[in-house]
Structure 1
Amino acid sequence: MRRSRLLSQEQDDTEVNLTPMLDVVFILLIFFIVTTSFVRESGIEVDPPQASTAEVQAQASILIAISPEGEIWLDREPVTLAALGPRVVRLQAESPQSSVVIQADRASRSGRLVEVMDRLRQAGVDRIALAAQQPDR
């Protein structure tokens, strides 16, 4: 009888308690979810013009793309010029520190770019940048 009690105590002592390890894993998971920044994409690939004075934009989280055909893309879907302003205002309300970057293809019309910029300014968006790539050196 005494021997069976000792055996059962030894078996209880050798079990590994996984609860603290699971707690740490969940805390790390929550940390990574909270600290991850989500970048919105425009939805299409564009070939931006080159500029030797191009600078990297740190807080560019709202991307608008203008295709060579003049289509406007926002958040991976095409959008009309009339709907562009309200949608960008809504996206900026979600993250107030974000800026808007327009990625116009080098083959797109400059008139379309001016229309997009004008529509954004009418909607009250004041931080607008144009995407360009630095020339290969």
Structure 2
Amino acid sequence: MRFPRTRRDPVEVNLTPLIDVVFLLLIFFMVSTTFETRQALELELPESVSGVAAEVSPVTLVVTAAGDYRLGDRELSAAGLGEALAGEAEQARRHGLVLEADGRASHASVVRALDQAGGLGIRQVRIATTEVSSTQAETP
């Protein structure tokens, strides 16, 4: 007696749902991840009541409380400030220079930075401040 063989379809794994899930996970992690490009620096920026939010500038000069300077990722002394700023001068002339001076920095350090920027033809300089909280604004 011959039994008829049942014909089986070949088994195929459908990868489309798996690929969809992988792409969804990839998009989720890309959206939820934050990228920090700047190193943390503890600055106490001066406060301003009348300040407005400014657009981000690609050239930011930081004056620390000790009177040192930082341009991008480079630590600078007062002597090296001029030539380092000269390297970024063209971009600073186009987009402006943001000066983040610590509230404890000496006035001379800030004026030195402004003088170097003015000597290189950088006319658009913004000084970064922090917003005054409502409780501090009300006290005399």
TM-score between both structures, scaled by the size of structure 2: 0.64
Deviations 1:66-111 (A, max 9, x none): 1122100122331221233223236x28xx8643211111121212
User: Which residue pairs with 1:128 in the alignment?
Assistant: 125
Q: Which amino acid aligns with 1:124?
A: G
Runs of 4+ in structure 1 displaced over 4 angstroms?
Answer: none
Pair 105,3 (structure 1): closer, same or farther in 2 beyond 3 Å: same
Q: Which amino acid aligns with 2:6?
A: R
User: Which residue pairs with 1:84 in the alignment?
Assistant: 84
Deviation at 1:134, TM superposition (A): 2.0
Deviations 1:39-83 (A, max 9, x none): 863762211111211211122333211112210012233122123
Figure out how many residues of one structure are paired with residues of the other and give that number.
121
User: Which residue pairs with 1:35 in the alignment?
Assistant: none
Asked if 2 retains the 8 angstrom alpha-carbon contact of 1:43 and 1:74, the reply is no
User: Which residue pairs with 1:17 in the alignment?
Assistant: 15
Q: 1:57 aligns with which of 51, 54, 59?
A: 54
Pair 121,16 (structure 1): closer, same or farther in 2 beyond 3 Å: farther
Aligned-residue Cα RMSD (Å) equals: 3.5
Q: 1:3 aligns with which of 6, 9, 13?
A: 6
Structure-2 separation of matches of 1:124 and 1:63: 16
Identity of aligned residues (%): 15
Q: Which amino acid aligns with 1:88?
A: E
Q: 1:105 aligns with which of 98, 102, 107?
A: 102
Pair 130,19 (structure 1): closer, same or farther in 2 beyond 3 Å: same
Structure-2 separation of matches of 1:76 and 1:88: 13
Q: Which amino acid aligns with 1:17?
A: L
Pair 72,44 (structure 1): closer, same or farther in 2 beyond 3 Å: same
Q: Which amino acid aligns with 2:99?
A: I
TM-score between both structures, scaled by the size of structure 1: 0.66
Structure-2 separation of matches of 1:63 and 1:122: 17
Q: Which structure has the larger Rg?
A: 2
Structure 1's unaligned 5+ residue stretches are 33-37
